[in-house]
Amino acid sequence: MSRPCINEATRGSTGRFSVSDDLRFYLAYNLHMIYFLWFVLIALIVSTTTSLALILNETWRITIRRGVPAVSSSWPVVDKVIKAQVFPREGLILDLGCGTGWALRRIWRAGYNGPFIGYETALLPYLVGRSWNWITRAPVKIVRQDFSAAPFEKAKGIYLFLLPRMLPEVGKMIATKSRVGTVVVSAEFAIPGWEAEKVLEARGVTARQAKIHVYRVKAQES
């Protein structure tokens, strides 16, 4: 940016510019740019803060109303499920309330062929999960939708980490929509009225030795 042309009348009595004069002219000429940059900075701060507040509010609302924890399953829990080989290597695996989908990506890396579909309604984990899927090229599909619309009838494995008050309703949904023999893993909380095929233990979110309940869908009594 070129400096403004200075008239001879603006010179001091010595015929030279002082440092303070030069700085004053520079600031006067660029003051509008300083104001503009301050405005942009304030606008960015306000918009970022507002966006974060809306996202956190949505996440909290989903946690309270839908019974989906605000945190994901712990790594040891998912690793224990993988080592126990409770899921079939082939066939659709669903994650109900998948967060960023990291559990499905970890299962995929362990050699499972899927396909894999996770359901998440909170915006922030959904966006983060989609980004990680793109970065890792993981064949994991994350759907921003209520998991009541999930294709339970096609699933061979279902993973879930939900708050206890949600489990009675979810248990009925899985029992009525899934095929007989579908493996269901409920991390840290038992599904009321279901008899576990086996119970594993690993360090979890809610306990040092959290229980991992492994079920198999049974035929409905007529």
| Domain spans, the chain | 1-66, 75-216
- The stretch 143-169 carries a mean pLDDT of 93
pLDDT for the residue 9: 44
Residue 62 identity: I
Burial class (CB in 10 A: 0-12, 13-18, 19+), 193: exposed
For the chain, percent of residues with pLDDT exceeding 90: 54
What pLDDT score was predicted for residue 13? Answer: 47
Please state, in angstroms and as integers, the Cα–Cα distance from residue 172 to each residue in 142, 154, 197, following that order.
23, 17, 18
Residue in 67, 47, 75, 45 with CA at minimum distance from that of residue 167: 67
pLDDT, residue 69, reads 56
**170-220: per-residue pLDDT in tens?**
999 999 999 999 999 999 999 999 999 999 999 988 878 899 999 999 987
Across the chain, mean pLDDT equals 82
Task: Give 113-128 pLDDT, tens digit per residue.
Answer: 989 999 998 888 899 9
Q: Which CATH superfamily is domain 75-216 in?
A: Vaccinia Virus protein VP39 (3.40.50.150)
Asked if residue 153 lies in contact with residue 179, where contact means CB atoms within 8 angstroms, the answer is yes
